[in-house]
Amino acid sequence: MRLFDTHCHFDFDIFQGDFDAQLKSANAQGVSRFVVPSIGSSNWAQVQQMAAEHASIYFALGIHPYFLHQQSIDELPTLKELLNQRGNQCVAVGECGLDAMVEVDMVLQEKVFIEQVALATYYQLPLILHCRKTHNRMVQILKQERFQYGGILHGFSGSYQQAMQFIELGFYIGVGGVITYPRANKTRQAIVSLPIEKLVLETDSPDMPLNGYQGKPNHPKMIGEILACLASLKGMSRQTIAEIVWKNSNSAFGICE
């Protein structure tokens, strides 16, 4: 079966010792496509280079709210220029969004997020959304900006109602390691109720380790275990789920299967 990790930071230092071996270990588990979102200007060049060297790797360009600083405003013209010059492997704007759990001024967060939504609209690209404790405000902004190109709500850990707000705006829901934790009952129940046609799989490697792997770096090769958990929750076969989420993942990013 073909698996797609729609959100992994495969460019981070922890994977760089022998990247070809890291990639092969994921491929051995059936993971044949990856999207590596950037976090800011510090790794825009790196994710582009990684995709240039590996046909199975796609990337997104954006500014993550966690890494925002006052100079981020000045970097937006560079981001626009990079998007203007992008090739086919640049499939989204992101990772971008709002985060109420970090000590970054929310006025600045909203300004930079709105600018990135505008860029995604201008270039007709989907968004990869980072959202912590800001669901309602993010939905409000997306509606206010009349954003129409969908994307993925990354690292979902909310309620059914919250997920449906984003689905109604054209987004897919990124399902990761959180569903492997029995205590994450609200999120697990939401995933059971959400339409499978609107779900995609992700690891957020090296973050968001699965249950039983706490304290260890996460890896794209773990997608199969997230798939198995999703199949169990949904009462469907792994093969059926794999085929559906493969199609969803490519559709979310406008990639030909």
Tokens of 100: 């109420």
Other C-beta atoms closer than 10 Å to the C-beta of 23 total 20
145 annotated as a binding-site residue = no
Say if residue 154 carries a ligand binding annotation.
Answer: yes
- Binding site annotation covers 13? no
**Separation CA 197–CA 88 (nearest Å):** 24
Q: What is the Cα gyration radius of the chain?
A: 17
Q: Judge contact between 222 and 173, C-beta under 8 A.
A: no
Nearest 5 degrees, angle CA 245-CA 250-CA 256?
A: 135
135 marked ligand binding residue:
no
69: annotated binding-site residue? Answer: no
What is the distance of C-alpha 41 from the center of its chain? 18
> What is the C-alpha to C-alpha distance for residues 7 and 162, in angstroms, rounded to an integer?
20
Q: Are 167 and 173 in contact (CB under 8 A)?
A: yes
- Tell me the β-bridge partners of 93: 61, 127
Q: Is 7 annotated as a binding residue?
A: yes
Which residues touch 68 (CB under 8 Å, ≥6 apart)?
Answer: 40, 104, 108, 109, 112
Q: Which residues participate in the annotated binding site for a divalent metal cation? A: 7, 9, 95, 130, 154, 204
Q: Which residues participate in the annotated binding site? A: 7, 9, 95, 130, 154, 204
